[in-house]
Structure 1
Amino acid sequence: MVVNAAVDAAVFFLLLGAAVLGVTAADAGARADSAVVEDDRPDAVAAVLATSTATVNYSLAPGARRANVRADADEHGSVRFERTAGPEFRRTTRGSLGGLLARAAVGTAGFDGAPVTHARDDLRRAVDGAVQERISTVGLRVDALWRPYPGAPVEGRVAVGGAPPDGAAVDAATLTVPTGAKPLSPDETRDFASLSGAVADRTVEVLVPATRMRLALRDDAPVSTFARYRYARLAAELDAPVTDDVDDADTGTANRRLASALAPRVESDLRARYDSPEAAAAAVSASEVRIVVRAWDADGGGRGGAREPADSRAEGGR
C-alpha cells in the first residue's frame, strides 16, 4: 500500500499565520478542494491527505487568554497581552490536508505532554474539522506526530478519529512531511555529544524558527507578543536566559542558548536508550512529521490481519 503521491514541503510559520504549505503533487490542482476518499483503504486516504487542499480559519485568541491567566498567577517569565480578542487574532491558512496536520502537530508541540503555548489550539480544532469533512472516520484514524526521536521529552501530536478497538485487524499507510530542519551530517553523528547538540539545535529551530521569529519580534502586537511569549515559555522550560536576546530580536543567540540548555537532556536520554551514536542517529526524526493512517472493519469483520505501514517519504525528509 505504497502512497506514490509526493508530499508537500512544509515550512512552518508558527506565529505569522501565512499559508505556505504548497502541494507538489502533479495532479493536486485537479483534486484540490474537491477530492474525497472513494474507499476506506489507508493508502487511498493517505493519497488524499497528500494531494487534497483545504482552507481553514482559526483564532489565536485562546492562546492570548491562557497567557494572561499565567501572567495573573505571577509565574516567572510570563508575558501579558494588552488585548485578547479582535480581528488581528484571526488567521486563515491553506495547504494540503497532510501539510495542515503537520503544521498543527508542530504548532501545538510541547514538553511532557504540555504545549509550549496554546496559540495553535484553535488551529488543531480547525484542521480536525477540515480532515473530517473529506474522509469518514468510521473505522479509521489519522495520527500526525512530530518528535526529535522516539521517547523524546518534546513532541507534537494531532489525532483525527477514534482509536481502533483491541484485537482489531488494522491496515496502515504512512506519509511524511518535512519540517524544514536540516538532515544530520556525518560530522554530527560521530559521538553522543555532537549528536545531542545537533538534535537540540534542530528541535529548537522547529519550535522557534530563527528567521521567522526575528520578523515576528519586530512586528506589531499581537504577533510580537506571541513571539516573546513563546520564547519566555521555552526559556522557563529549559532554564535558559534569553530575555535580553529576545528584546534585541537576536533570535540566533536566543536559539543557541535554548539548544545548549536542551542538549544535556537529549544526550542523557540518547545514551540511556541507544547502544551507539549510530543507532541513535538512525532514530532521529526532527526533520519530519510522520502521518499514519490506520483503518479497520468497523462492523467487526477482519481486514486480513495487521500489516506494516506503507511509507511514503517526501523528498527532503531525513
Structure 2
Amino acid sequence: MVVNATLDAAVFLLLLGAAVVGLTTADAGSQPTLDDGRSDAVANVLATSTATVNYSLSPGARRANESGADFRRTSGPEFERTTHGSLAGLLARVTVGTAGFDGTPVTHARDDFRSSVREAITARLVPTGLRIDAAWRPYPDAPVEGHVAVGASPPQSAATDAATLTIPTRTQSLPANETDDFESLSNAVAAQTIETVAPASRTRLALRGDPPVSTLVRYRYARLAAALNVSVEDPIADADTDVANQRLADALAPRVESDLRARYDSPADAAAAVSVSEVRIVVRTWGDESEGGR
C-alpha cells in the first residue's frame, strides 16, 4: 500500500512529503492486548483518507520575535497556509516539522499546523478509545526527535489493539559503506538528521525568497546553531545551506557517536537501530468501539 502526501510548494520549508509503505501489527508492550481489528481500520483511514488543512505561521512568528527574531509583521495573508495530503502524511510532516533537541522544539513555526492536523484527524475518526502516536527519532533515545500525539493515553488496565504505519521522510536510508565503524556511521546519521530538520535545497530557496518564510528559515538555523553551539551566520547570510548543514552535522556527530558507542556492541547493531529516514505512527485502540472512522 503506497499513499503519497502532497507537498505544499508555498510552505516547502521543512514540510516533508511522505508515503505510507507498511501496515503491521504493533507490539502493545506490557499492556493486555485484544484483537478486534479496530486499530487496523483506523490505520487504513489514516493511510487512505485525505484532508485539506488551513493554518497560520503567525503564532510561530510571534514566539520567534520574543526570542530575538526580526519579523516586522507577524500577521497578514502572507502568513496563511493551506496544504493537502493523506492524514498519515500530514501527521508525519508535522512530526518532523515540530522536532527539537532534548524535548524543546527548534521553533514554534509549525504549532498551528500541528493543531490543525490533530483537528483534521479527530474530525474523521471516532476519538473514544483511540490514541495515535507519531514519532521521528534518528535512533532510540536520540537528543533530537519529534513526537505528535492525538487522543488520550489508554488506561493502564485496558486491553489494547495496535497497528503501525511506517512513513518515509525524504532523507535516504544509510548507505552500506557508512556502517563499517562508529565514526562513519555517526557522521552519516548526524548529516541525515540535519538534512531532515533543515533540507538544504528547500531552505536555500527559502532564504532567497521573501518574508516571512525567509525570516523563519534564518531563525530556524539560528536556533539549530545555538542548540549545537556552532556558528552558521556567515553561510546563511550567503544562502549557502550546504556549508551551514555540514557545520551543524559536524557539531552533532560527536554526540551521536557517544550515544551509539554507549548503547550498542557493534556499528552493525547500531546501524540496525537507526531510523532517521522514517516516521512511525502507532495506533492503539481499546474499549467497545468497532468502527475505524465515521
**Equivalent residue for 1:16, pick from 8, 12, 18:** 12
In structure 1, list runs of 5 or more residues that go unmatched. 26-38, 72-78, 304-318
1:54 aligns with 2:44: no
Distance in 1, matches of 2:10 and 2:261, equals 31
**Equivalent residue for 2:167, pick from 155, 170, 177:** 177
Distance in 2, matches of 1:272 and 1:107, equals 28
**AA of the residue aligned to 1:112:** D
Distance in 2, matches of 1:276 and 1:206, equals 25
Indicate the residue corresponding to 2:86 in structure 1: 96
- The count of aligned residue pairs is 276
Distance in 2, matches of 1:283 and 1:258, equals 22
TM-score normalised to structure 2 length: 0.89
Instruction: Map 1:202-281; keep pairs closer than 5 Å.
Output: 202-281=192-271
In structure 2, list runs of 5 or more residues that go unmatched. 22-35
The Cα shift of 1:155 comes to 0.5
Distance in 2, matches of 1:104 and 1:135, equals 19
1:67 aligns with 2:64: yes
Taking a change above 3 Å as real, the CA distance of residues 271 and 117 of structure 1, as seen in their structure-2 partners, is: same
The Cα shift of 1:23 comes to 6.8
Indicate the residue corresponding to 2:274 in structure 1: 284
Map Cα deviations across residues 230-258 of structure 1 (whole Å, 9 max, x no partner): 00000000011110000000000100000
Distance in 2, matches of 1:46 and 1:238, equals 36
**AA of the residue aligned to 1:135:** L
Distance in 2, matches of 1:273 and 1:20, equals 29
1:65 is paired with a residue whose SS is helix
Indicate the residue corresponding to 2:38 in structure 1: 41
1:123 aligns with 2:119: no
Taking a change above 3 Å as real, the CA distance of residues 199 and 11 of structure 1, as seen in their structure-2 partners, is: farther
Percent identical across equivalent pairs?
Answer: 64
Indicate the residue corresponding to 1:307 in structure 2: none
1:104 is paired with a residue whose SS is helix
Distance in 1, matches of 2:133 and 2:37, equals 16
Distance in 2, matches of 1:170 and 1:267, equals 36
Whether the 8 Å contact between 1:58 and 1:92 is mirrored in structure 2 is yes
Instruction: Map 1:65-214; keep pairs closer than 5 Å.
Output: 65-71=62-68, 79-214=69-204
The Cα shift of 1:15 comes to 4.8
Whether the 8 Å contact between 1:10 and 1:177 is mirrored in structure 2 is no
The Cα shift of 1:170 comes to 1.0
Whether the 8 Å contact between 2:194 and 2:249 is mirrored in structure 1 is yes
Whether the 8 Å contact between 2:13 and 2:203 is mirrored in structure 1 is no
TM-score normalised to structure 1 length: 0.82
